[in-house]
């Protein structure tokens, strides 16, 4: 499937599920993203004080269910208020390892009232899995989910 088509399907699904609760929508988005083999693990973290707390995810259980702000690529996306697209996690000393098979990771901020309140985090077993097109569409998806993530705070 074309990249644009793949993401359009997810965006349409979010619109079609506008009445559904946050957990089912965030879980559903994780599941839809994982249909693409590049998406090995997909999850949402929310900012709670000085920690990021894992909420909905699809993939293996991770030990990183609470991340102290300042640690890992997940924190960088919040502190920079920008996408972190690490093409080779093994070359990044900030990276917090969750799964031995992970080779690249993208973290996309979710914003509310102009400030980051959480993030969409994706681990891939492929080096350099995500490009600028993925960055654009994943940010659009994160923006569409802003109210859902805010409701989990």
Kindly report the three-state secondary structure assignment for every residue of 64-115: CCEEECCCHHHHHHHHHCCCEEECCHHHCCCCCCCCCCCCEEEEEEEEECCE
Residue 4 CB, nearest approach to ligand SME (Å):
26
| Helical axes 132-144 vs 3-16, angle rounded to 10° | 0
Residue 12 CB, nearest approach to ligand SME (Å):
27
Q: Compare residues 9 and 99 and give the one whose CB is closer to ligand SME.
A: 99
> Using CB under 6 A as the criterion, which residues of the chain lie in contact with ligand SME when the complex forms?
41, 43, 62, 64, 67, 72-74, 95-96, 98, 105, 121, 123
Task: Give the DSSP letter string of 17-38.
Answer: TTTS-HHHHHHHHHHHHTTSTT
Residue 147 CB, nearest approach to ligand SME (Å):
23
Residue 123 CB, nearest approach to ligand SME (Å):
5
- CB-based closest residue to ligand SME: 72
Q: Compare residues 7 and 57 and give the one whose CB is closer to ligand SME.
A: 57
Q: Compare residues 74 and 141 and give the one whose CB is closer to ligand SME.
A: 74
* Among the listed residues 112, 116, 55, the one whose alpha carbon sits nearest the alpha carbon of residue 80: 116
């Amino acid at each position: 499937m074309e990249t644009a088509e793949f993401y359009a399907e997810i965006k349409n699904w979010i619109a079609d599920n506008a009445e559904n609760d946050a957990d089912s929508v965030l879980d559903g988005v994780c599941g839809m993203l994982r249909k693409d083999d590049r998406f090995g693990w997909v999850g949402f973290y929310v900012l709670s004080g000085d920690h990021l707390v894992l909420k909905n995810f699809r993939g293996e259980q991770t030990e990183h269910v609470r991340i102290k702000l300042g640690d890992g690529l997940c924190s960088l996306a919040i502190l920079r208020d920008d996408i972190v697209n690490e093409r080779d996690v093994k070359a990044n000393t900030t990276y917090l390892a969750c799964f031995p098979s992970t080779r690249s990771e993208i973290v996309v901020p979710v914003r509310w009232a102009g400030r980051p309140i959480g993030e969409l985090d994706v681990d891939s077993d492929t080096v350099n899995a995500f490009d600028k097109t993925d960055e654009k569409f994943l940010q659009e998806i994160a923006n569409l989910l802003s109210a859902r993530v805010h409701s989990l705070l």
